[in-house]
Chains A and B, each alone.
Chain A
Amino acid sequence: MRETIGILFMFAGVVFDAIGCVGLVRLPDLYNRLQASLKCVAMGTSMILFGTMIIAGFSAVGAKAFLCLIFILIISPTTEHALARASYIAGVKLWEGSIIDRLKQDSQNNGTGK
């Protein structure tokens, strides 16, 4: 029973990982691709680790899976923020279908001395 639940979680995780990879190919610009790689891939990996935790129970493997889960949840949004900020500063353009860019508007206003 416990193994079945764990394997179901792992299967769902693999599906989310695959969707994240599809998103990486289909989406138009860097910022949207970052989101695909954060949301779906972090979800998939956490689900795989959670399935491992359920199967292994309170053992050495389960404790390590729990630690990895927490570190993934801390590290992946930090990395994503660092990449997004660095690429915005380096001048990577948004997709031309984007509807608003408040950061550009505000930095232009500051540049003209307002």
Chain B
Amino acid sequence: MKKLILAFLSMVIWILLVWPFSSGDVDWHSIGIGVFASIIVGILFGNAFTDSPYKFFEIKRYFWLVYFVVVFVWSFLEASVDFAYRVLHPDLPIRPGIIKVKTKLKRKSGIAILANSIGFAPGAVSVEIVDGFLYIHMACIRYKDTDDATAVVVRRFERILARILE
């Protein structure tokens, strides 16, 4: 099962890479090589892929994924406009420091995606992760307390990721 899912994902990436539809009709040679290569990838790396493959078949997780993409893109725009303002302002209005937030996510993949998303939250980058706590460096700190900062920075990604992955 895991191997089939991984083979399917690598086939999608292969089709996006070679794009066999450009010359009017379908280029079957490229697709054949892609099927061959993705079966090999699936057999070799299927065991290291995921430990709960049945989650790929629950439709509602994909709707939450779409919602996550919307939230993520909005947060990304907000973060870069905010940072561009700080960089271009003559007084350089930054109050940097490292604060500590906590997360309720248990799975390693969830924590990894959460840390990556925090990298795109306004003015934040995760520095260290120690069992359930993330130390993040922020360019402009408004809340020093762990609970307040968690509510502002982590919560909006965490509640969606919990529904997608857990």
Q: Which residues on A are within 8 Å of B, measured CB to CB?
A: 16, 19-20, 22-23, 26-29, 31-32, 34-36, 38-40, 42-43, 46, 59-60, 63-64, 66-67, 74, 76-78, 80-81, 84-85, 88, 94-95, 97-104, 106
Tell me how many residue pairs across A and B have CB atoms closer than 8 Å: 130
- CB under 8 Å from chain A, chain B span 31-49: none
Q: Which residues on B are within 8 Å of A, measured CB to CB?
A: 13, 16-19, 22, 76-77, 79-80, 83-84, 86-88, 92, 94-100, 115-117, 119-120, 123-128, 135, 137, 139, 141, 144
User: Do B19 and A32 touch across chains, with their CB atoms under 8 A apart?
Assistant: no
Q: Binding site of A, secondary structure by majority: helix, strand, loop or mixed?
A: helix
User: Do B22 and A103 touch across chains, with their CB atoms under 8 A apart?
Assistant: no
User: Do B115 and A81 touch across chains, with their CB atoms under 8 A apart?
Assistant: yes
Given contact pairs A32-B139, A100-B97, A40 touches B84 in the complex (Cβ within 8 A): yes
Complex alpha-carbon distance, A35 and B100, angstroms: 18
User: Do A103 and B100 touch across chains, with their CB atoms under 8 A apart?
Assistant: yes
Question: Can you offer 10 A-B residue contacts whose CB atoms are under 8 A?
Answer: A23-B86, A32-B139, A39-B120, A42-B120, A46-B76, A67-B13, A80-B125, A81-B127, A95-B96, A102-B135
Given contact pairs A29-B96, A59-B22, A99-B97, A84 touches B127 in the complex (Cβ within 8 A): yes
User: Do B19 and A19 touch across chains, with their CB atoms under 8 A apart?
Assistant: no
Given contact pairs A84-B126, A84-B127, A98 touches B96 in the complex (Cβ within 8 A): yes
Given contact pairs A31-B125, A99-B141, A103-B128, A40 touches B83 in the complex (Cβ within 8 A): yes
Which of B16, B19, B96, B141 has the most chain A CB atoms inside 10 A of its CB? B96
Which of A20, A32, A40, A106 has the most chain B CB atoms inside 10 A of its CB? A32
Complex alpha-carbon distance, A94 and B126, angstroms: 14
Give the chain A neighbours of B87 by CB distance below 8 A: 19-20, 22-23, 26-27, 36, 40
